[in-house]
Structures are given as C-alpha cells and as structure tokens.
Structure 1
Amino acid sequence: MRLLILSLLVLTGSLIMSCQSEKIDPPIAERIAHRDTMFNDVRVDYYYWLRDRNNPKVIEYLKAENAYTEAMMAHTKSLQEKLYREMVGRIKETDLSVPVKKGDYFYYTRTEKGLQYPIHCRKKGSLEAEEEVILDENELARGHKYFNLGVFEVSPNHRFLAFSVDTTGSETYTIYIKDLKTGRLFEEKIENTYYTLAWANDNQTFFYTVLDAAKRPFKLFRHQLGRDAKEDVLVHHETDDKFFITVRRSKSGKFIFLNLSSQVTSEERFLKADQPLKPFKVFQPRQYKVEYSLAHQGDYFYILTNQDAINFKLMRTPLNKIKPAYWQEVIAHDPQVMLEQVEAFKDYLVVLLRDNGLKRIRVSDMKNNEIHFIEFEEPLYTVYLTGNAEYNSRTLRFNYQSLITPSSIYDYNLQTRERILKKKKEVLGGYDPANYQMERIWATAKDGVKVPISLVYKKGLKKDGTNPALLYGYGSYGISRDPYFSSNIFSLVDRGFVYAIGHIRGGGDLGRRWYEDGKLLKKKNTFTDFIACAEHLINEGYTSEDKLSIAGGSAGGLLMGAVTNMRPELFKAVIAHVPFVDVLNTMLDPTLPLTVIEYDEWGNPNEEKYYWYIKSYSPYDNVRAQNYPNMLVTAGLNDPRVSYWEPAKWVAKLRATKTDDNLLLLKTNMGAGHSGASGRYDYLKEVAFDYAFLIDRILDGK
C-alpha cells in the first residue's frame, strides 16, 4: 500500500454560513487519496486520511460534523426533551434488583433517582439484615464523561471484591481489589485487562486476561493478593491471532475453565480451583470448526459441542476419563432445535434451547431421570437464565419478557415445578399492555426461504399503508435479536409507529444453519432477507415506502449501508449506529482488534474469492451517484470494535456522491466507544435524539 496525495479541495471541517440565504452547509472532507492495488484491482480511497486521529484536522472535521448535526436538529430540541421526559417517566428511577443468594449473602443492585449508575449492595443472612454498600459506580464515575464496570467478582469467602473499570469507552479495563471487611482498596492495580476474571478457592489468587496491541485478550495471568502486578505469573500465552482468551469459575466452585476461542473453533482447559498453582489441563485439543464448552456436575463434565452436530448436542464424561472415547450422549442432535446454554445444578441439569425461533427451557432431574419443559403462554416472547449462583439449589431463576410484557423475574422450583414471580419491572406513565398487539409474520426471501418478522403496534391498526414504521435488523455472528421488552419504543408506537424486527439470516434466530446461510460467501442473504422484510411490510399494508424507517448498529450498521446502496427507494429514513461499513479496508488490516478473528465471519480478503465478494457489498466501496434516504450515522471516537473512521469516511463519501437533498448527519461521541453514552440518563437522551430524527423526517416533527 502507498499513499498518493492527489489534491486538497477544501479546508477540513469548515461550516459555511451564507448571510444572504442563511443556509447551513455540511462539512466537506479533504480529498487525499490512498491507492490500494490487489488482484489487479485498483481502489482509490479519498478519505483514508480520516484514520489519523492524531491529525488535528481529523478532530476538527468530526467536531464540525457534530456542529452541523446539532444545527440541523436544533428545531427538534423541544421534541427531544419531550421524548426524553416520556422515557424517563416510564422508568422507576429509584429501584431495586431481585437479590441473588450466594452462600450466606444476598447480592443486589439499586438505583436512585438522579444518579446515572447502579449501587452494588449485599445483606448477610437474610433480606431483613442491614445493607452493606460494596461498590457505588456513581462515585467511581465522578469526573469522567464515560464509565463502565467490567468484571465484578467476589472471592469465594465473600471477603474480597475484584472489579475493573473503563473510563474512555476503549474497552481496556483496570482491575482493583477491595477488602470488603475494611473497605480499603489494595495498593496494586492491574491495567490493560479484559472482561473476565476467576477466583481460586484459597481466596488469595485469581486469574485474569490482558490485551495485546490489537486489543485481543491473548495472555492469562495469575495474581496473588498483596503482590505487585509486575510479579504476576504468565499462565498461558495464546499466539494464534484468531483466538481470544476468557476465564471463568464453574458453578460448583470445583474448577476454573480457560476458554480459547475463535469465531468457529474453541478449546477448553481446566484447573481444580483449590490447586491454583498447578497448570491448566487441555480437555480436548482444538479442531478447526469444532466448538465446545464445559460445565461440571458431580462426577462428570458436560460438553456442549457442535462436532457432527450443527445445532449442538450435549455429551458427558467422567472427570478422570476425558477422551472422546468415553463420552456419553445426553441430548442428541436435532436439526430443528439449537442447544444454547447449560446450567448444571447439584441435582438438576437445565438446558436453554431454541425451537422455531423461540427459546424453551428443558429440565432434567438427575436422580430419577425425569425430563420436563417450562412452558410459556404468549406466542412471542424471550427468556434468559439469570442469577443462578448457587450450585446446591432447587430453584432456577429466569427472566421472561415479550414485546408487550415487561422484564419479569421468576423463581422456578425444579422439584415441585412451582413458578413464583419475584419482580415484574414497573412501567410507569400509564403503560397498559392491553393497548398493544404483537404478532409474528413471515416474509419470503429472494430464494424462497421464509423469514420471521416480530411486530408490535397499537391495537386497531389499519393496514392501509399510512402507518409509519421502524424496521430493526442485525443478522451477524449467529446473534439472535429476540423480541425483548423496551419501554422506550412506545414513544414511537404511541405515535402510530409499527415496530418490527427482521430475524434475518446471519443471526441465530432459527438455529445454526440460519447463521451459516448468512456469512462468508452467503453474506448477501442477510441483506436480501432484510429487503424482503421491508417489502413484505409494505405489501401487507403495515407501512409504505415514504413512511418506513430502518435501524441497526455495528454489524447491523453494515446491514443499513448495504440495503441503502441496494434499494434506497424503499426507505424514508435510516439510523446507522457505529456502522461497520468500510468492510474491505478493515478486513485487509490485521492490526485492528477484530480483523483476524473475523476471517471466519466475513472471509479473508487476502484470498481472491473473498476480496471480490466483500468488495461487491461493502457499503463504503459501493456508494454511488443515486438518491439516498435521510440518514443519521453515529460513531464513537474511542470505539475499538468499529473504528470511528468507518462511519466518518462513509458519510464523507456519501456527501460527495449522492444526488439528493435528504438530510445526512454524522454524530460522533468524542468521549465514548462502541456502546455510546454509559450513564442511564445520558443513554436516554441519545435515544430521544434518534427518535426525534425519525419523527421529524417521517411525521414532520409531530
């Protein structure tokens, strides 16, 4: 690669005000070309210079774009405030989570009105005991524009707390240790760490991971309390750039598991938690495209694996006989049912699975081998296992919700099968689920495949094409976009919007095959599925082309870029959050955090077949002279997942190329990363801004 400076057309980051017309013009980026030659293909990237955040002109340009965005949205300030107050008005600002029992303690978080972050507390012995505040995130966040808590792990004896913080949004964390008996912090702190940490049973030792220059967790260290972190022992160094390291403690407390995983391959290693100085033992050496994970129960390891089972199967083997020859089948592979998660209690085995797009819970009584399923009444819902910290327990806790049913925490007696509602999230402001209708419909994709769409709207909706709509999509990494509850969305629904989720290929909504059919050389299925969803909503009268908006973030932002290049006339407005739109350039740069590990997701463009396929859909490379919808694009200056320059370059190229006068906005958070604002009130202000953009563009601000 070589840099060829062609020309400097305009000054970077200028906002031009014409006194005669009072017209505000958008910033125009410099055109300094970067020429790239590969496979007899010459690409000229005029906005490559935006990658250099140390160049003052880059920061000037981003700030100018922000100023332009603020100017163009100034007339919606009152609407933004109204939306923000609506959303705040639906939440119980001073609230309490359902306590989770761990040993003699009950752990919970609470929020207080006016405070951005949770307060972590516990009580000993009973819920009537005196509250002990163990960590106040608001105190830690003081003086920082951004704050995020990473690991939060209490030692097995409940004496020490290891926690980590990120104050930039770069997802690089610093670990601190707090003595919960005295309240003091240990002198040592450990920098440049990742999300995972596991305590050994001696209550003096824990394991953690650190990041390389590309922000990949590549080393596992062992730390002992009271010692300088410089003395920490390197336990494992992962030299294969495709693999990330994570570490966790088994629910039983008997083992520590070291997971080494790429996009399609994994390897587990294990260590007895009461022998932290011994080396980890490999359970099963990595095999390309074989994924597995471990759980421990009694005398067995349980293995959730996709070996010869695309939707995964469950096996088990004695602790002292771990070779595959000894493995026994517990749940056979089912091509229609995806096994997603295993929770191993002392006497029960719980498996979360996905059947026809909906989650189900399978319970096995290990004493009498009885099997039953936990059933749910609504035809459209999602469920998560949560707060199951106790190994010797007969209670399973899960979170149930749907598009109209708020988050509901249940305790389920695994023996009696009694279900107790512990807490349903209160939705204030007069919310009544009886006022809304949800349903699942199916669009027909380009190749005849049926694609599910989840919908929610006000009852009495007329399918006459006059309704505004917001269609959301993601469709990557096998991640499912389940129909969970969000009180925020009702600020749109109450204004007549149909809210829709397209469960497109590339996600895991209908099992692993659904994912495999939307990646690598089949990636375009993701985009054509989404277009089919949009067309179906229009054809069935839910909305129309001049009332349909779409939204997606990260890989879902790639989706937004691809479909607006392909079918811009279908959409009135687009929101693309931190969009992965410069796909070809990013995947050609192995120094970036996720590039190498994601060769198995997008393909390695150093191979010719992947180069040309990625180039054929990469949104940045396929911007062309045509009309585009109204677009709001966001970025995070410190984003380690999708670098800020991807949305910045994309917007610059769109400005120079598109043929319409529709609004194009770039909004960069100069002090955050991939997830945007960290405080709960600041987050709601961002949502209010997004919704104001949609309402302004589609409903003329009403």
Structure 2
Amino acid sequence: MSKTNFLTAISVALSALCLAGAVQAQSLSYPATRKVEQTDSYHGSSVADPYRWLEDDHSADTKAWVQAQNAVTDQFLAAMPQRLPVRRLYTELYNFEKFGLPFKEGGRYFWTRNDGLQQQSVLYTASALTAQPAVALDPNQLSKDGTVALSGYAASRDGKLLAYGSSKAGSDWQTWRVRDLASGRDLPDTLEWVKFSGAAWTPDGKGFFYARYDAPAEGAALTGSNYFQKLYYHRLGTPQADDTLVASNPQEKEWGFGAEVSDDGKLVYISVWKGGNKNGLMVLPLSKGAYPGAAGGAPKAVTLAFDAEYVPVASMGASTLIVKTNQDAPRGRLIAIDLKGSGKQAWKTLVAEGSDALTGASAVGGRLLLRYLRDASTLVRIHGMDGRALGEVALPGVGTASGFAGRSDDAETFFVYTSLNSPATIYRYEVATNKASVFKRPQTAFDAEQFETRREFVTSKDGTRFPIFIAHKKGLKLDGSNPTLLYGYGGFNAAMTPGYNVTAATWMKMGGVYVLASIRGGGEYGAAWHEAGTKLKKQNVFDDFIAAAEWLIANKFTQPAKLAINGGSNGGLLVGAVVNQRPELFGAAVPQVGVMDMLRFHKFTIGWAWVPDYGSSENAEEFKALLAYSPLHNIRSGGEKPYPAILVTTGDHDDRVVPAHSFKYTAALQAAETGSAPKLIRIETQAGHGAGKPTSKIIEERADMLAFIAHRFGMQLP
C-alpha cells in the first residue's frame, strides 16, 4: 500500500471512529466463559485449571470465545473519546523515515528503509553511500496485507546473491529463498521448516549453513521424538532433501544451532543453545572457503559445558579464536582460545572483567570494539587485537548505542545511537581515525527540545539499587498529578536501556511521564544481575518494579490512580504478577502477549527453552515458587483492594507465547470479583508475537493501549 493510500485508509477509519466515539457504552457485560472439571496434581498439591479448553486456539469454541471477547472490547474502545485523537497523534509521530544499520558485502552496501508508514521496511543496496540506492527486496510485495515480513537475510560474500527468510502473521516459522540481486528474481531454492535461524554463506558463494526441523508427518503435531533442530548446509541448485547434515544430537533434543563463518573463511563457528543464556561452542574447518560436505569432518567442540555464555568474536587463522564470555567473569571478559590446545588451559584472558557489563564485541579494521553498559547506558571501548586498551568511541550522551558490525579488514563500521527523546540516528564510524559522522538522521514530528530525560536510582525491598529513566515535557510540576506510564521487562538477560519509541513519544506529547525501569532479570549489570531475577529469585523482579512505582509516587511524579504499567511477553508476566501483588498501586495495566500460566508454559512451542529463567513445575521446589506468583493462579477475588483497569493484548497466531496464556488469564479475571474497573482483552487476528507486524497493526494496537489508559485517567485530548 502506498503512503497516500495508507493515509486515506487512516482518514476513513478515523471518521468511523469519530461516529462510534459519540456513542458511550452504557454497561460492560463480559461474555460467559464456561468452566470444565480439570484438576492437576503437582507434587501432592491439586491445582484447578477450569479454562483448559481455551488452550486449543483452533477449536470452534475458542474461536467463538475470541469473537465474543473482541466484540465487547471493540465496543468499549470505540466509545472512548480519546481513541480518535490518540490514533491520529500516534500515526503522525510514527510517520518518519526509519533506517536500518548498513552492512557491506562484495563492495556493496545494504540497509533497510521505511518511508514512514510502509507496512514493512524495504531492503536497499548501493555501490557507494552517496550513490542512488536500488531496491534489493521489498517484502511489501510478498503479500497484499503486509503480514509477510523479512525474518532475516544474508548476502553472499560477492554481494550478488541474497538468502532471505520470510514469515507470515508474526510466526516464528520461516521460509528461506535465494534472490539473484542483478535480475531481482528468486532462484528455485526453497527451504521450509526453519525456525530460530539465520544463514551463513561459505565464501565461495555456493551455499550456506542454516538450522531447521524435520517436516512432520502428514497430520502429525510439531512435537515428539523428531522435533529437534539440526544444522544443515544447503548447496545452491539442489533440493532441500539433499542438504548435508552438519550437526545434530538426537540424545539432546533441546539443542539448537547457530552458524557463522569467520572473516578469513577458514572456520565455521557453531553456537549450541538449549534455552537460557548459556551455550556451547564448536568449530568446523573449511577448506579454501568451501564446504566439501560429509568429507569435511565433524565439528570440534570448544566447550559443551553449558556453564556460561560463549560468543565468537574473531579468529586469527584456524588456530586462535577470540570469544566473549562470562565464564568466571559475571560482567564479561574476552578470552583467546588456542584451538590446538585442550581444556581451559588453552584459554587466555585478552580483556579482563571490569566494573561495567560487557554486552557486545566485534572485530573491525584491526581493532576490537567492545560495548559496555554502565548503569544501563552504553560505553564503547577500543582495544587492539592483542587486548591493549586504545581509547573510547565518543557517543552523543547517556543513551543506547548498538551496531559496530563488520569484517576484520573493513575500514569503517556503522552504529545507531538513541535515547528516550532522541530518535535513532545512524553514524558511520571510521576505525583508523576514531571519528564518527552522521549517515542518516530521521526528521520527525517529535520536537526533542521540548522534552527532557533523567536517570534516577531506586532502592528495592532488599536494598538493591537500580536505575530508572524518566522522560517528560520540560517544566513538569512534581505535584503527584501527572499521568505516568511505567515500562519493564526483567528477564532473559535482556537489558532495558533508554531508546526512542513512538509509544513513549506519543505518551509524552499527550502530557504524560514515561518511565523505563532497568530491573533485575535483565543484563544491565551482567550475569549475576540476570540470575538474581530467575527461578527461585524471580520475586526480586517484581519487588524492583513495585519499588519503582513507589518511588514515582513518593517523589510526587504521580499517584496510584494515575500510574499505569506496561510490558510484553516476559514483561506481560511482570505486569500480571505485580497487579496481583499490589493492585492498589496502579490505575491501569496493559500486559501484552504475557506468559501467564507459569505451571504449563513449558508445554507449548518454545516454552521449554524458558525453564532456565523460570524453573519448571515438574521440580517440587520450583513449583512452589512458580505457583506463588503465577498471574493466572493468584488473582485475588473478593478482596478489599480492587484491581486497576486491565487491557490484555495478544495475537491469535502467536506461536511463541501462545494466546492461551492471555485467554485463560482474562477469563479468570472476568470471573473474579476484582472491582468495577474494566478487564478486557484485545485479540489481534492474523498476528503473532509482534516481530514483523505490519505498521497499520502496530499503530492500531499501541494507540488503543494509550487511549485506554488516557480514558481511565480522564485525560482530555484535542
């Protein structure tokens, strides 16, 4: 859809909303949700699961339930006078050019661009940064409704071919194809049953490594003894059935594989994952940049202890490998591994652990570029290939910088810098001179000069100190009256650092305060910080988030009636848990695609891989901890403290956090006596976990979230 057509569609939709908004909902009546007699026994404890039937999202009963719930929610949202102006504002702020980080292959540059309101970003290529770019691949042409997205892509070393993955409706399942960039046509090669994988070309350009699952037998479920990932090599021009098996382990069905080819083409780095943030590492020698197939031998294990993170950074020939790890170093270090040696005696510290958390490393232009977090803000340090400290890369301020990818002989690299009130700017960095210059700076309708960001520190229940980032209009009065939106995640070693997003910008333009909490469970301070928010220690995450809310109230930013909380996926779990524990602390809550049933999460799709973070109900001690905070199982019915207004969001095609989590949680909320505030669910049809979601769907969902909060807080919008 062109920008003109998209804006026309938005205008028509907004006109309809204006008419709908004039009709106020007289009452809120939830659809009846039947209960079934289902009780499970866990280590001698009986736990009822009356909404088990909602786990089957393909059944006619569940589809009817979804339709009934959406009808109630649609009526409520359409009657909100805030819906029209919020969607208009969100669309305005979303409508700016967005660029992806450039990379270079075969003397050609590649980067993505979205003109503002395109459903999917387009991949471009150019012979020089100043040359007119040409379209390499436009995913908007892959479907009529924009729901097919690029899930990954990799250019061959000569820059002539592009392997690319596509996914539909936000699914994790991908189909990979190969495009001839000169002709713009796809080759016959088609690879199916790919999930959680990229592509790594051999330097000869004759094929690439990728990971996939076996195709299930007709009518069979994607579970069972054959449902495990394998690493293959695909040679161009051959059918997928003839791909060469490189690595698999039927005895360890939780193993997954990722491959990367060294810059000199002598090694394939094979990362082995099985959930959590600890991985194994293997290497496979290549001969003259080619993979000879079965004659190439088996991968050699560097370590399969799964006791830490091991991320390959660079190799020097076929004998020395530089690795980023947190083994014996919770905040991270670089080590050099002699591949001819054996055991950890062959490991040598190249850059020692410091006081800041090492989050990324790359080797470009004969230098090591190391990215650190200090109180959730990025620092970039330069080291020689021998580990010697050579200085720092100057960054614009307290914010987030990412990128710095490239090959060891590249003279340049690119990085993106952003903060809560600064849209992502892309910089070209010249390694030899340590100079950065702007490559692309977006022009937006958001005037950053009208807003300010500050970093404050909060002390949690057990005395742990953590940062929060607060953004708002300049001249804010600390009188406790400000509508405030608090966002958190707190899991899977994912660091929450300040970065521009349209949701925050829209909320600030509406007059609200936006707050990002960098709580335990993330990677802001290294492995120990992450582990302090996992398994039996997961309550620390909720305590931190509650402490952030209490700090905002105590320091007169807001009050409970005007404090909203939001988080997605693991962050949806966070929101559900803290609402149960402290309902009186919040005026509104929006858990998005949340993990809500902590006793059964590991039984669906990739849920088993989350056990290292959450634990499992199959373990007696962990079961007690999970049951104690599971959002589904701890809804307080008939209590003295009414719940805030809650809008649950999910997608009916989410095959990562299956929608059953949100379905069952919403049904339980609506059946309980939790007060008169609305408890609604917004179910996006033909949508998944969020990745690749078309622009129109992003705008509609996130604008509805902000309008729901604004409506609850009585905010008057023009």
C-alpha change, 1:342 and 1:97, in structure 2 (3 Å) is closer
Amino acid at match of 1:30: R
Structure 1 segment 126-275 matched on structure 2, within 5 A: 126-127=128-129, 129=131, 131-142=133-144, 144=145, 146-194=147-195, 195-211=197-213, 213-214=222-223, 218-239=229-250, 240-262=252-274, 263-273=276-286, 274-275=289-290
Amino acid at match of 2:280: E
Deviation at 1:85, TM superposition (A): 2.8
Q: Give per-residue Cα distances to partners, 1:287-319, cap 9 Å, x unaligned.
A: 142321212243431021222222222111345
1:333 to 353, 357, 365: 353
SS at match of 1:582: coil
C-alpha change, 1:157 and 1:292, in structure 2 (3 Å) is same
Deviation at 1:129, TM superposition (A): 4.8
Amino acid at match of 1:211: Y
Q: Give per-residue Cα distances to partners, 1:571-603, cap 9 Å, x unaligned.
A: 00001101111111223x3xx223332221111
SS at match of 2:605: coil
In structure 2, the partner of 1:13 is none
In structure 1, the partner of 2:50 is 46
Q: Does the CA contact (< 8 Å) of 1:628 and 1:658 recur in 2?
A: no
2:118 to 95, 115, 119: 115
Q: Does the CA contact (< 8 Å) of 2:468 and 2:518 recur in 1?
A: yes
1:281 to 299, 302, 314: 299
Deviation at 1:217, TM superposition (A): 6.0
Q: Does the CA contact (< 8 Å) of 1:427 and 1:487 recur in 2?
A: no
Amino acid at match of 2:420: L
Q: Does the CA contact (< 8 Å) of 1:640 and 1:674 recur in 2?
A: yes
C-alpha change, 1:470 and 1:131, in structure 2 (3 Å) is closer
How far apart are the structure 2 equivalents of 1:80 and 1:222?
Answer: 50
How far apart are the structure 1 equivalents of 2:648 and 2:43?
Answer: 32
Q: Does the CA contact (< 8 Å) of 1:692 and 1:701 recur in 2?
A: no
C-alpha change, 1:374 and 1:98, in structure 2 (3 Å) is closer
| TM-score normalized with structure 1 length | 0.91
Moved more, 78-87 or 56-65: 78-87
Tell me, yes or no, if structure 1 residue 402 matches structure 2 residue 419: yes
How far apart are the structure 1 equivalents of 2:510 and 2:123?
Answer: 37
Deviation at 1:346, TM superposition (A): 4.5
Q: Does the CA contact (< 8 Å) of 1:472 and 1:551 recur in 2?
A: yes
Structure 1 segment 376-391 matched on structure 2, within 5 A: 376=395, 378=397, 380-386=398-404, 388-391=405-408
Deviation at 1:145, TM superposition (A): 6.0
How far apart are the structure 2 equivalents of 1:369 and 1:265?
Answer: 27
Tell me, yes or no, if structure 1 residue 436 matches structure 2 residue 436: no
Deviation at 1:214, TM superposition (A): 4.7
How far apart are the structure 2 equivalents of 1:595 and 1:487?
Answer: 30
Structure 1 segment 322-471 matched on structure 2, within 5 A: 323-334=343-354, 336-366=355-385, 369-376=388-395, 378=397, 380-386=398-404, 388-428=405-445, 431-471=446-486
Q: Does the CA contact (< 8 Å) of 1:110 and 1:118 recur in 2?
A: yes
Q: Give per-residue Cα distances to partners, 1:648-701, cap 9 Å, x unaligned.
A: 101101111123110111111121111177112321122111111111111245
Q: Does the CA contact (< 8 Å) of 1:637 and 1:644 recur in 2?
A: yes
Deviation at 1:495, TM superposition (A): 2.5
Q: Give per-residue Cα distances to partners, 1:228-262, cap 9 Å, x unaligned.
A: 11111222223323332222233444432221013
Identical amino acids, percent of aligned pairs: 28
Q: Does the CA contact (< 8 Å) of 1:265 and 1:286 recur in 2?
A: no
2:635 to 623, 634, 654: 623
2:335 to 309, 315, 326: 315
Deviation at 1:107, TM superposition (A): 1.7
Q: Give per-residue Cα distances to partners, 1:623-642, cap 9 Å, x unaligned.
A: 12132110000111121221
Tell me, yes or no, if structure 1 residue 86 matches structure 2 residue 89: yes
Q: Does the CA contact (< 8 Å) of 2:280 and 2:310 recur in 1?
A: yes
How far apart are the structure 2 equivalents of 1:382 and 1:128?
Answer: 27
Moved more, 663-672 or 322-331: 322-331
**Cα-Cα RMSD:** 2.3
Q: Does the CA contact (< 8 Å) of 1:264 and 1:289 recur in 2?
A: no
Q: Does the CA contact (< 8 Å) of 2:593 and 2:657 recur in 1?
A: yes
C-alpha change, 1:653 and 1:130, in structure 2 (3 Å) is closer
How far apart are the structure 2 equivalents of 1:94 and 1:508?
Answer: 30
SS at match of 1:148: strand
How far apart are the structure 2 equivalents of 1:370 and 1:359?
Answer: 17
How far apart are the structure 2 equivalents of 1:187 and 1:382?
Answer: 41
Deviation at 1:165, TM superposition (A): 1.1
Amino acid at match of 2:38: H
Structure 1 segment 432-511 matched on structure 2, within 5 A: 432-511=447-526
In structure 1, the partner of 2:322 is 302
Q: Give per-residue Cα distances to partners, 1:256-275, cap 9 Å, x unaligned.
A: 22210131431122234523
Q: Give per-residue Cα distances to partners, 1:102-138, cap 9 Å, x unaligned.
A: 33212233334653222222223x3455643221111
How far apart are the structure 2 equivalents of 1:441 and 1:127?
Answer: 40
How far apart are the structure 2 equivalents of 1:62 and 1:264?
Answer: 35
Amino acid at match of 1:518: G
C-alpha change, 1:372 and 1:96, in structure 2 (3 Å) is closer
How far apart are the structure 1 equivalents of 2:180 and 2:353?
Answer: 47
Amino acid at match of 2:516: I
In structure 1, the partner of 2:6 is none
Tell me, yes or no, if structure 1 residue 548 matches structure 2 residue 563: yes
2:41 to 37, 40, 49: 37
Q: Does the CA contact (< 8 Å) of 1:297 and 1:344 recur in 2?
A: no
SS at match of 2:456: strand
How far apart are the structure 2 equivalents of 1:131 and 1:461?
Answer: 44
Deviation at 1:393, TM superposition (A): 2.1
Moved more, 477-486 or 157-166: 157-166
C-alpha change, 1:417 and 1:569, in structure 2 (3 Å) is same
Q: Does the CA contact (< 8 Å) of 2:208 and 2:235 recur in 1?
A: yes
2:690 to 665, 675, 678: 675
How far apart are the structure 2 equivalents of 1:129 and 1:447?
Answer: 57
Deviation at 1:450, TM superposition (A): 1.5
Q: Does the CA contact (< 8 Å) of 1:174 and 1:192 recur in 2?
A: yes
How far apart are the structure 2 equivalents of 1:370 and 1:113?
Answer: 41
Deviation at 1:532, TM superposition (A): 0.7
SS at match of 2:643: coil
Q: Does the CA contact (< 8 Å) of 2:597 and 2:633 recur in 1?
A: yes
Deviation at 1:153, TM superposition (A): 1.3
Q: Does the CA contact (< 8 Å) of 2:666 and 2:681 recur in 1?
A: yes
Q: Does the CA contact (< 8 Å) of 2:488 and 2:574 recur in 1?
A: yes
Gaps of 5+ in 2: 1-24, 215-221
How far apart are the structure 2 equivalents of 1:95 and 1:563?
Answer: 35
